[in-house]
Amino acid sequence: MRYRLTIAYDGTAFHGWQRQFVGSPDDHPDTKRPELRTVQSVVAEAIRNVVREPIELVGASRTDSGVHARAQTAAFTTTDTRLGPPDERLMLAINSQLPDDVIITACARTRDDFNPIRDCMSKGYRYLLWTGRDRPLWERNLVHHIWMQLDEVAMHDAAQVLVGEHDFAAFAAANHGRDSTVRTIHACTVTRLDEHQIAIDVSGNGFLYNMVRIIAGTLVEVGRTKMDVFHVERALASLDRRNAGPTLPPTGLCLMWMEYPEPDGFVGEKP
C-alpha cells in the first residue's frame, strides 16, 4: 500500500528536509557518520516505528535549513496492513511518534506510482516580513524583521516583472546544481497583512536553489527604494546573480501549498 502524507513543520531546529550526514565518508572511515536532524529522517523514523519495517520516504520539496512548511507532500510504501482503514488511524499513530515541531496533517491511500516530485504541477511559497521598529517576539521564528517600513505597492509592481517563463539565473544561488535555470512563475504578489507584516507569495512550476529568498531580497530592496521596476527588469535580463538583491534568511520562508493532477488535487492552502 502506498500512502500520501501532508506534513507541516517549524523548520527552526531542522537542517532542512533532506536527510543529511555530518562530513564525508573520509572523515569517519571506521565509524558510522553522525546524522543531522532533518524532517525526512525524523518522519521516516516515526513511520518505521509504526509499520515495523524499513520504508523510503520521498518528499516533494527539499526545503533548506530553517525553512518552514504547511503542506510538504511525501509518500511511502508499506506491506503492513495491521492498521487498515481508516487512514486517520495511521496518521494518529505516526503523529504519536513525532516531536512537537512536525506533524502529519493528512494521510491517504494513493496510487502505486504516485511520485510527489514528478507529479507536482505547481507549488506556492510565502516569505513573511515583519517591518518597523517593534521587534517581533512570538513570531520571531516565522518572520524576517526589517527595521524600517517598506513600500509594498512598489514591491508588488516590481514583482509582476517576474511572472511568466524566464531564465532566472540572476535569482539563483551560484551552486544551484541545475542544467537549466528557466522556470515559470505563475503569480508573485506582495500584500500588507497588518501594521507590521508583509507577505510575498510566489507560485510556479519549480524553483531554483534560494530562488524565492533572492526574489524576496530583491523586492525588499525595491521597498526600501534602493531598486525599482527597471532594476528588476535589468537584473532578470542580465542572468547575473550580482545584479539581483540579497538572499534573505530562511526564517521567513514557508512552503504553503502544492498542486497535483486529479485525483490527488490541491494540498495546503492558497493565500
Q: Which CATH class is domain 122-258?
A: alpha beta
DSSP state of 142: T
The set of cell numbers assigned to 256 is: 504553503
Please state, in angstroms and rounded to a whole number, the distance separating the CA atoms of residues 131 and 225.
Answer: 15
* pLDDT for the residue 246: 96
The cell numbers describing 244, all together, are 539581483
Count the neighbouring beta carbons within 10 Å of the beta carbon of residue 19: 16
End-to-end CA distance of the chain, in Å?
Answer: 33
- H/E stretch holding 230 reads helix 229-238
Question: What is the number of alpha carbons within 13 Å of residue 124 lying toward its C-beta?
Answer: 20
The cell 508573485 sits on which residue? 188
> Residue 131 to residues 91, 143, 156, 219, 220: CA-CA distances in angstroms?
38, 10, 16, 14, 11
pLDDT of residue 30: 56
pTM value is: 0.92
Domain 2-119 has CATH 3.40.190.10: no
Residues of the chain with CATH 3.30.70.660: 122-258
Give the active site residues. Answer: 64
Q: pLDDT in tens for each of the 271 residues of the chain?
A: 899 999 999 999 999 999 988 866 656 555 677 889 999 999 999 999 999 999 999 999 999 999 999 999 999 999 877 766 667 889 999 999 999 999 999 999 999 999 999 999 999 999 999 999 999 999 999 999 999 999 999 999 999 999 999 999 999 988 766 789 999 999 999 999 999 999 999 999 999 999 999 999 999 999 999 999 999 999 999 999 999 999 999 999 999 999 999 887 888 877 7
The CATH 3.30.70.580 domain(s) of the chain lie at: 2-119
